Structure 1
Amino acid sequence: MAYRCLKDRLKTGSKPCNIARYHDYVRVASASGSIRVPLASPNVIGIVNSRGNRSHQEDFYSFATLSLNPEELRQSVKKALGVDWDPNLVSDIYARQVLYVGIYDGHGGSAVAQYLRQELHGLFESVNKTMIPELYGWIKEIGGYFKRFKGGAITPWIDGTNKEELTLEARATLTFFEADKILSADNSAQTSGATSSVALLQSLDSPSTPFFSAKRLAVTVAHCGDTRVLLCSTRDGSAFPMTETHHADSHVESIRLRRMMGSSLITDSYGESRWMGALANTRCLGDLRYKRFGITPEPEVRARLLEGEEWAFMVLVSDGISSILSDDEIVDLARGASNPKTAADRILSFTEELGGDDNSTAIIVPLLGWGKIRGPDKTKDLREYRRRQAVGTERQRRM
Structure 2
Amino acid sequence: MISKRKKMLLAKNVNLNKIISKRYITTGIPFDNNAKTTDNYNNDTINNDNNTPSTNNDSGSFASKYIHWTPSNITSGMLRLDLYKIPSYIGHCSSRINRLYNEDRYSFSLLKYASNYKRAVTNTKNSPTFLNINIFDGHGGSNVSTWLSKHLHEKLVQTIPNKKTFYSILKQYCLKYPHSDYWLNIYENREAYYKRFIRTCSTKKEDVLYNGSRMIFDKFGNIIDKTSLLSDLDRLRIFQTYLEVDLKDCIVYENCGSTASSIFLTPYAEYEQYTKPSSLDDNNSSNNNNNNNNVDDFNNDFLLTSQSLMKLCVVQVGDCKVILCDKHGVAHSLTQIHHANSPRETARLNSSKLSITDSFGETRFLDMFANTRSFGDSKGKEMGLSCEPDIYSYLIGNTSKLPHQEKSKLQFGGDECFICMVTDGVTDLMDDQEIIDLITSTVNMRGLKKATPQLVCEEVIKYISAISGKDADNATCLVYRLSNWGNWPVIDRTGALREEKLLNTNQAELRE
User: Which residue, 454, 459, 462 being the options, matches 1:349?
Assistant: 462
Aligned-pair distance for 1:168? 2.3
2:434 to 303, 316, 329: 329
Residue 148 of structure 2 aligns with which residue? 116
Aligned equivalent of 1:21 = 62
Q: Distance in 2 between matches of 1:227 and 1:200?
A: 16
User: How far apart are residue 377 of structure 1 and its match?
Assistant: 1.2
Structural mapping, 1:211-222, within 5 Å? 211-214=303-306, 215-222=308-315
Partner of 2:423: 318
Change (3 A) 1:176 1:379: same
Cα separation, 1, equivalents of 2:496 and 2:153: 40
Residue in structure 1 matched with residue 395 of structure 2 by the alignment:
305
* CA distance 1:368–1:391, change in 2 (3 Å): same
Once residues 229 and 340 of structure 1 are traced to their aligned partners in structure 2, the CA distance between those partners, rounded to angstroms, is 15
Q: Say which SS state the counterpart of residue 200 (structure 1) adopts.
A: strand
Distance 1:293 1:387, change over 3 A: same
2:69–2:81 CA contact under 8 A, matched in 1: yes
How many Å separate the matches in 2 of 1:72 and 1:191? 39
Q: Secondary structure at the match of 2:154?
A: helix
Q: Is the 8 A contact 1:73 1:168 kept in 2?
A: no
Query: What's the secondary structure of 2:131's corresponding residue?
Result: strand
Q: Distance in 2 between matches of 1:174 and 1:114?
A: 21
SS at match of 1:283: coil
Larger-Rg structure: 2
- The 5-angstrom pairing of residues 339-378 of structure 1 reads 339-356=452-469, 357-378=472-493
Taking the aligned partners of 2:106 and 2:418, their CA distance within structure 1 comes to: 18
Q: Cα deviations across residues 153-177 of structure 1 (Å, max 9, x unaligned)? A: 9837xxxxxxxx8532222211210
Asked whether the equivalents of residues 96 and 473 of structure 2 are also in contact (C-alpha less than 8 Å), the reply is yes
Query: 1:155 and 2:155 equivalent?
Result: no
Say which of 174, 177, 180 aligns to 2:243.
177
TM-score, normalised to structure 2, is: 0.65
1:127 aligns to 2:159 (yes or no) = yes
Sequence identity percentage: 28
> 1:312-360: CA deviations, max 9, x gaps?
1101101111101110011111115321101101111111111253211
How many angstroms does 1:73 deviate by?
A: 11
2:339 maps to which residue? 247
CA distance in 2, matches of 1:233, 1:220: 17
Deviation at 1:33, TM superposition (A): 6.4
User: How many residues matched?
Assistant: 355
CA contact (8 A) 2:318 2:371 kept: yes
CA shift for structure 1 position 210 = 1.8
Q: Is the 8 A contact 1:246 1:281 kept in 2?
A: yes
Structure 2 unmatched ranges of 5 or more: 1-49, 52-56, 196-230, 274-300, 399-413, 444-450
The residue identity in structure 2 corresponding to 1:176 is: Y
CA distance in 2, matches of 1:238, 1:185: 39
- Kept in 2, the 8 Å contact 1:153–1:173? The answer is no
Q: Report the equivalent of 1:229.
A: 322
Residues 211 and 217 of structure 1 are in contact (CA less than 8 Å); yes or no, is this contact kept in structure 2? no
Q: Distance in 2 between matches of 1:148 and 1:241?
A: 31
Q: Is the 8 A contact 1:49 1:362 kept in 2?
A: yes
- Give the TM-score of the pair, scaled to structure 1: 0.82
Paired AA for residue 184 in structure 2:
K
Q: Unaligned 5+ residue runs, structure 1?
A: 7-15, 75-90, 157-164
- Specify whether residues 394 and 17 from structure 1 end up closer, same or farther in structure 2 by C-alpha distance, changes over 3 A only: farther
- The letter of the residue matching 1:332 is D
Distance in 2 separating the partners of 1:120 and 1:232? 27
CA contact (8 A) 1:153 1:170 kept: no
Provide the C-alpha distance between the structure 1 equivalents of 2:452 and 2:385, rounded to a whole number of angstroms.
38
In the aligned structure 2, how far is the partner of 1:47 from the partner of 1:292?
35
For residue 243 of structure 1, give the secondary structure of its aligned residue in structure 2: coil
Paired with 1:278 and 1:17, the residues of 2 have a C-alpha distance of 42
Aligned to 2:293: none
Residue type of the partner of 2:145?
A: A
Offset from partner CA, 1:164-215 (integer Å, 9 cap, x none): x8532222211210111122573xx122111110111111245334234322
Give 1:133 shift: 3.8
Alignment of structure 1 residues 7-156 onto 2, 5 Å: 18=59, 21-28=62-69, 32=76, 35-40=79-84, 41-71=86-116, 92=125, 95-130=127-162, 131-141=165-175, 142-143=177-178, 144=180, 145-149=182-186, 150-151=189-190, 155=194
Check whether the contact 2:265–2:312 (CA below 8 A) recurs between aligned residues.
yes
Query: Retained in 2: the 8 A contact 1:23–1:64?
Result: yes
1:193 aligns with 2:257: yes
**Matches of 1:35 and 1:71 in 2, distance apart?**
30
